A and B are shown apart, each in its own frame.
Chain A
């Protein structure tokens, strides 16, 4: 496949993320700018941190000038779900050399979701462009938000649902394959149970931990032979 058709394929795949990241990025940039920071700070944070929900927490940490230990512990907790994403791409990213390092750095929820949805045989270039485009949307959104966010008058409330919808379509695709149904059910039950029990701020890491444990225990029943 030629470069331009690979780019086009990557672009089409990332359109839902574009909608979500541009709007959430604008919200982040606007928030940081309202906290008294020049727009360059929004661009910088989105370039070097690049973690959606964590950057909203970051605004609070910056405006309060939080101690660095607090910053480290908070970030590790908020982003702990990312501990699990790399497990599916260890050989894949390793084989990509230096480009694999960027893949590791840029493995957000949405990029992870898209990479789970593309064919296993998809080219390295395709998945790299997906990762790069997604970060570009986020950086552009953040910068625009900090620069001109306060001039936006049309209501985009609810557009962030594009991300939820993206997860929905990928899950539906996965559920069409029988072998994915029990793992998805286990993930759902653990997440919903933990959310009910521990509340929205603390449920994610325990839920993922128990999910992995159950998947390991059920390995004799779940493993697809061959």
Chain B
């Protein structure tokens, strides 16, 4: 490995990441003026759409070829959601869902 080139790779990755994260602010957040109606609307309405997208993103590697390719993931999500609906305590829902998932994928039941 080349020290300088490795540092440059990390620097370019950091800079490019920062570009993606700061673009909305550079486009719409400059100057004294507050953001306009359209951006305000999108900013308010986007979070639930993105959360649904992130959930699909987290599941992008599942396959419906065999049972274990999707059942553990979808099952643990369903359990997490149901427990959350019942108790509305994020830590409990996440802990139960995660432990269930770990037990399932590690095959501790069989």
Chain A interface (Cβ < 8 Å from any Cβ of B): 12-13, 15-16, 19, 36-37, 41, 44-45, 48-51, 54-55, 58, 61-63, 65-66, 68, 71-72, 75-76, 79-91, 93-94, 104-105, 107, 109, 112-113, 116-117, 155-159, 161-175, 180-181, 183-188, 190-192, 195, 200, 203-204, 207-208, 211-212, 215-216, 219, 222-223
In contact, B102 and A159 (Cβ under 8 angstroms): yes
Q: Which residue of A has the minimal Cβ distance to B78?
A: A168
In contact, B102 and A161 (Cβ under 8 angstroms): yes
Listed by A's residue number, 14 A-B pairs whose Cβ atoms lie within 8 Å are: A44-B10, A51-B17, A61-B9, A85-B21, A90-B28, A94-B25, A155-B106, A168-B80, A169-B94, A183-B46, A187-B49, A190-B53, A191-B52, A219-B41
In contact, B1 and A165 (Cβ under 8 angstroms): no
Contact of A188 among B25, B52, B58, B101 (CB under 8 A): B52
Task: Provide the residues of chain B in CB contact with A66, threshold 8 Å.
Answer: 9
Known: A49-B13, A183-B49. 14 other contacts (CB 8 A): A45-B13, A51-B17, A80-B20, A83-B20, A83-B24, A86-B25, A90-B39, A113-B51, A159-B98, A165-B98, A173-B88, A180-B47, A188-B52, A211-B46
In contact, B16 and A188 (Cβ under 8 angstroms): no
Contact of A165 among B45, B46, B76 (CB under 8 A): B76
A162-B94 contact in complex given A61-B13, A79-B16, C-beta closer than 8 Å: yes
In contact, B97 and A104 (Cβ under 8 angstroms): no
Contact of B93 among A41, A169, A208 (CB under 8 A): A169
In contact, A90 and B49 (Cβ under 8 angstroms): no
0 or 1 for each of B55-78: is its CB under 8 Å from A? (1 = yes): 111111100000000000100110
Task: Provide the residues of chain A in CB contact with B14, threshold 8 Å.
Answer: 48-49
In contact, A72 and B16 (Cβ under 8 angstroms): yes
A76-B84 contact in complex given A93-B25, A161-B97, A212-B42, C-beta closer than 8 Å: no
In contact, B16 and A167 (Cβ under 8 angstroms): no
8 A Cβ contacts from B7-54 to A = 8-25, 28-29, 34-35, 38-39, 41-54
A75-B51 contact in complex given A82-B21, A84-B46, A87-B24, C-beta closer than 8 Å: no
A48-B10 contact in complex given A90-B28, A90-B35, C-beta closer than 8 Å: yes
Which of B19, B50, B77 is the most central at the interface, judged by chain A CB atoms within 10 Å of its CB? B50
Describe B's contact surface by its main secondary structure.
Answer: helix
A184-B48 contact in complex given A16-B90, A80-B20, C-beta closer than 8 Å: yes
Task: Provide the residues of chain A in CB contact with B48, threshold 8 Å.
Answer: 171, 174-175, 180-181, 183-184, 187
Task: Provide the residues of chain B in CB contact with A187, threshold 8 Å.
Answer: 48-53
In contact, A71 and B102 (Cβ under 8 angstroms): no
A89 to B12, CA, bound (A): 25
Task: Provide the residues of chain B in CB contact with A91, threshold 8 Å.
Answer: 29, 34-35
Q: Measured between C-beta atoms, what is the minimum distance from B74 to chain A in Å?
A: 10
In contact, A169 and B80 (Cβ under 8 angstroms): yes
Q: Which residue of A has the minimal Cβ distance to B16?
A: A75
Task: Provide the residues of chain A in CB contact with B94, threshold 8 Å.
Answer: 16, 162, 165-166, 169
